[in-house]
Structure formats: C-alpha cells, structure tokens
Amino acid sequence: MRLLKTIYFNLATTERRAAITENGQVVELMVERPVENRIVGNVYKARVVNVLPGMQAAFVDLGRDKNGFLYRDDLLSFQRFDEEEEEKKKRNISEFVTKGEELLVQVTKEGFGTKGPRLTGLVSFPGRYIVYMPEGGYCGVSRRMKTEQERERWRLIGEELLSDNEGMIIRTVCEGESAEKIEQELRFLRRFWQDVWKEGKELKPPALVHQDIGLLERIVRDFTFDDVHEIVIDNQKDYLRLKELLDPYPHLQTKVKLYRERENIFSYHGIEKELEKALKHHVWLKNGAYLLIEQTEALTIIDVNTGKFTGKNDLRETIKKTNVKAAKEIAKQLRLRDISGIIVIDFIDMRHEADRKEVLHAFTRALQDDRTKTNVVGITGLGLVEMTRKKVRQNLQDSLSKPCPTCSGKGTVLSDEAQAYRVERLLWEYRNMDDEALLLEVPPHVATIIKGENDEHVKALEEAFHYHIYIYSNEKMTEHDYEIRFIGEDEGAKQRLLQLEKTNR
C-alpha cells in the first residue's frame, strides 16, 4: 500500500513544531527550542581546558554553561594522521591535542543530564545531495545505493569535483541525478563556508562561528518529498519562506498550503492528542495488548504485555500475533518519541525459534521507515531484543517534560504510612519540651494515620511526648509536605488552628 505523507508545520508560536503523518497516522514529531538553545550543528571556535588520557577525550570551552567533550577519534589531527589504522589506535590523545589549544569544533549531540555536548573536529554541512566537509580529505558514497557500480561511479565524480583537503559524502538521493546538480550544490556549500570562516577566523575563542539552520530549513534539507501528498503551514512568513526554499522543485509548489483557521493547526488535525499520548508510559494496541515504555538516562526499556488480548484457541499463535503487532508499534513509537541510545525490548516469551525469527523480521522491516540510523543486535538468551538508535538531540519526553518535583523523577513517592511515620519521628524530637502544645499541618491522608482510629494514636503520642498535638489537615498540600505551624501555649495553638481553618474554607 502506498503511503500518503503529510507534513504539518506549527510555526505561529515561540515553540516551533512539525509533525509527519502517514495515511493519517502521526509517525514523527519534532519540537524546536528557541534559537539560542539549539546547538546541534553549531560550529564553535573553542579552547581545550582539559585533556584526559585515560578516557582518550578532551574537554573544551565553547562559551556555554557546560564544556563539550571530544574523543580522540573525532579530532581532525587524529583523522589526518597518516599511519596504519592498528598502530594509530594505540596512540594517546595527548599526542594530538594539548591544554590551551584552539580548536574548531562542531556539536554532534546535545548535552544530556550532567553530560556536556559531544563534539567533532570534522566540520560538515549537509545539503540535499551531499554532505560537504571543508577539511574532510575524502569522498564517501551512501551504502544505500542499489549497486556497487553506481557507488563507484559517484565516487569517481566526487573525487574529480573536490580540491585541496575538501571532502564530501554523496547521499542516496543522488541515484539517477546528474553530476551538474551535485557540482552546483558543492559550489554553493563551499562558498557558504568561505563566507562563514572569513568572519569566524577573526573571532577569539570561545566563540560561536556558525548557528545551525532552523526546523523549517532542516526538514527541507533532510526530507525526501517524493511521496509527500501535502505540506500545511500555519504562518504566512514561514509559508513564503518555504515556497522560496522549494523553488528548485516546481512540482512541490502546489502541495504547500497555508492554514488559516483560528484553531491551532495541531489541535485541528488531531496531532495535539497524539503528542499527549507520546508522553505516556502505556501504549495500547488495537487487540487489547499494551506496551510499557520506561525511559531512563542510561537506556530505554519496552515491555510487551498481552493485557486484555487472550486470543481464541492457540496460545502460541496468540503470543506470536501480539509480538508482531507490538514490534510494528514499537518501531512507530521510537520515531514518534525520538527515543535513542540503548533500547531493550522484552517481548512476550516465545519458545519456538521460528516465532522469534518472524517477530524479529517484522521489527527490522518496520524500522526501515525510520530516517534515524538503527542497529538491532538480536535476541539474547533471556529473550530480550537489544538495539541502538542514533542519539542526536533530546527525545520528546526530555524536550516537553521535567522531573516531578515531588518524587524527583523516581515515579514514586513515600506511602501514606511511611510519610506519617516520618512526621512522627520529627515529633519525637520535641518530647519533654517546656511548651504546652504543637500545631502540625499535613495532607489529609497523613493526618488520618497520625490520629488513628478514634484519635487513639495521637492521644498515645501526647502521653509519650507530654504536650498536646493539634493537626490541621490541608487538602492543598503535596504528598511530601508537612509543617509545624505553631509551638507554644495550648490556647495559642487552638487559636492558630481556628485561623487556618477559617482562612482555607
């Protein structure tokens, strides 16, 4: 079945978003931070602040809040070093870079958590047909081209077009295109870099030399529009800009539509609901089974459960069908949520090798639609599927959410009993004090436990502590909150309690 793709751009507000749908189903969501926070693709003139031989990495100052890190293998001086690969790998990073040295670097991955951004010394600029590397020194050709003869033909063409230490990678989209188009883009990117570096070389490190392009331009550059049915955009200025960017492709001009309705474009087309679903842990399948997706800083774990799906007769067939459906949905969720890094999938246990192969085949086929590089390692002895997905920028969850301030991102809080006993331990510290009473403010469920049935527990505490305990139950308090509101004479505690009850009615 031919996929009908539509691209929706929500660019009218500060947060700029794009969604790609296939046959009406949202398969990709992209959210762009304000320009000052986007750093992937940026080029900096940086200064080395520390070299760590044990890690084969250097930390460099970009002029931002976190230093970037640069592995030995990503240093331009290391890549240019002429030596047999096996011998070169034995060399230490200290031979190629020193503290205080100036370097030209490009950000390849955003910083995550406590980690700073990852960098490379091989600066590159992607175009529609090629990736241009001013100091690359070689010509590479996409491995996705259908034949080795075609790859070799393009390699020869590319080598003829390059000069000095230039390099480029010829992309898959070049198949069937003329060499003139590639040459034209190479000239454009070469001139672009010359203009950027003309000003950049005068800057003192740390300094930003080049800010990467925005969401609209990036999609036009990286996306293949051959099977796009429609492009809908909600901002007049960006609509005109998009028409300008697509000027070399006349057949796409009629596909661009300006959205004029008052309702937000994502709400109107049902994308907003899909965005909300993409932040939930549970993903229900149509047959009643479900996925449980848990993302951590280190890796993502996806658990497949039969849920409400019990099948008809054959248990083996029920499990296999559920796993096949889950495999297709997982591939979709990886794209939708932009999950990357290490991913472990726990499919429902299958005893037969043929079933495992069928599920794994369905999964790898579904991943072919993913524009981001993936690598499925295989199924472990425990029946877990291990894979990786290239990590470039923050995933959807990290972009749109933050750790819960109550549970600090753990996903759990203390039970009512544990919270009540924690408060009780605090009260013990005031035992035998000279004051007559203490007023305690806690959430209702904690108050119930401290008081006990018929206030028996709080009376026992009063006898042990030798002071009266007054409790104000505050429904607005969060799970972990509690506060001692008053310590003093008994009458004063009563008056303060009445005042709190009156104020919060």
- Residues 394, 421 share a domain: no
Give the end of a domain, one of 367, 399, 431: 399
Taking only the tens place, the pLDDT of each residue in 157-211 is 999 999 989 999 998 888 888 888 889 889 989 998 998 999 888 999 999 999 8
Q: Are 316 and 355 in contact (CB under 8 A)?
A: yes
Structural domain includes residue 55: no
Structural domain includes residue 52: no
Q: What is the reported pLDDT for 426?
A: 92
Give me the sign of the Cα torsion angle 273, 279, 281, 286: positive
Q: What is the reported pLDDT for 310?
A: 63
- Residues 364, 475 share a domain: no
Helix (H, G, I), strand (E, B) or coil at 400: helix
- Residues 199, 78 share a domain: yes
Average pLDDT over residues 391-404: 78
Structural domain includes residue 48: no
- Residues 173, 137 share a domain: yes
Structural domain includes residue 494: yes
Q: Which two tokens stand for residue 203?
A: 């800057």
Structural domain includes residue 201: yes
Taking only the tens place, the pLDDT of each residue in 63-87 is 998 999 999 999 999 998 989 988 9
Distance, in Å, from the CA atom of 249 to the CA atom of 244, rounded to the nearest integer, reads 10
Q: What is the reported pLDDT for 167?
A: 94
Taking only the tens place, the pLDDT of each residue in 104-116 is 999 998 887 678 8
Q: What is the reported pLDDT for 226?
A: 72
What CATH number did the domain enclosing 450 receive?
3.40.1260.20
Question: Which residue segment(s) compose the domain that 149 sits in?
Answer: 64-210
Helix (H, G, I), strand (E, B) or coil at 348: coil
Q: Rounded to the nearest 5 degrees, what angle is found at the Cα of 372, between the Cα atoms of 131 and 269?
A: 110
Q: What is the reported pLDDT for 298?
A: 80
What total number of domains does the chain contain?
A: 4
Average pLDDT over residues 329-357: 92
Q: Which two tokens stand for residue 420?
A: 């009540």
Q: What is the reported pLDDT for 478?
A: 82
**Nearest Cα to Cα of residue 317 among 362, 354, 365, 366:** 354
Cα 100 to Cα 59, 85, 396, 443: the distances in Å are: 11, 28, 37, 55
Distance, in Å, from the CA atom of 17 to the CA atom of 59, rounded to the nearest integer, reads 33
Query: Of 27-31, 104-108, 262-266, which range is least confident?
Result: 27-31
Q: Average model confidence (pLDDT) for the chain?
A: 89
Distance, in Å, from the CA atom of 455 to the CA atom of 449, rounded to the nearest integer, reads 9
Q: What is the reported pLDDT for 419?
A: 92
Q: Which two tokens stand for residue 157?
A: 């063409």
**Alpha helix (H) ranges present in 338-435?**
353-367, 396-400, 416-428
Average pLDDT over residues 469-476: 93
- Residues 449, 365 share a domain: no
**Alpha helix (H) ranges present in 207-295?**
215-222, 236-245, 250-253, 265-268, 271-277
Give the end of a domain, one of 347, 367, 399: 399
The three-state DSSP-derived secondary structure of 109-132 is: ECCCCCCCCEEECCCCEECCCEEE
What CATH number did the domain enclosing 25 receive?
3.30.420.40
Helix (H, G, I), strand (E, B) or coil at 31: strand
Task: Work out whether strand 43-52 and strand 207-210 pair parallel, antiparallel, or are unpaired.
Answer: antiparallel
**Nearest Cα to Cα of residue 360 among 320, 317, 307, 309:** 320
- Residues 466, 444 share a domain: yes
Helix (H, G, I), strand (E, B) or coil at 307: coil
3-state helix, strand, coil in the chain (%, to 5): 35, 25, 40
Judge whether residue 35 has pLDDT over 60. Answer: no
- Residues 299, 189 share a domain: no
Average pLDDT over residues 274-288: 88
Q: What is the reported pLDDT for 249?
A: 77
pLDDT band at 309 (very low <50, low <70, confident <90, very high): low
**What is the residue whose two structure tokens read 């937000």?**
264
Q: What is the reported pLDDT for 469?
A: 96
Structural domain includes residue 261: yes
Q: What is the reported pLDDT for 130?
A: 92
Q: What is the reported pLDDT for 316?
A: 86
Name which residue leads in pLDDT, 296 or 48: 48
Taking only the tens place, the pLDDT of each residue in 356-394 is 999 999 999 999 888 888 999 988 878 899 999 987 777
Q: What is the reported pLDDT for 390?
A: 87
- Residues 225, 173 share a domain: no
Taking only the tens place, the pLDDT of each residue in 196-229 is 999 888 999 999 999 888 888 888 877 877 788 9
- Residues 453, 382 share a domain: no
Helix (H, G, I), strand (E, B) or coil at 30: strand
Structural domain includes residue 411: no
- Residues 260, 134 share a domain: no
Structural domain includes residue 475: yes
327 membership: H or E segment, kind and range: helix 315-337
DSSP 166-191: -EEEE-GGGTT--HHHHHHHHHHHHH
- Residues 68, 194 share a domain: yes
Q: What is the reported pLDDT for 111?
A: 81
Average pLDDT over residues 12-30: 90
Give the end of a domain, one of 337, 364, 399: 399
The three-state DSSP-derived secondary structure of 432-460 is: CCCCCEEEEEECHHHHHHHHCHHHHHHHH
- Residues 103, 163 share a domain: yes
Q: What is the reported pLDDT for 287?
A: 83
Name which residue leads in pLDDT, 440 or 129: 440
Can you state the angle between helices 353-367 and 315-337, rounded to 10 degrees? Answer: 20
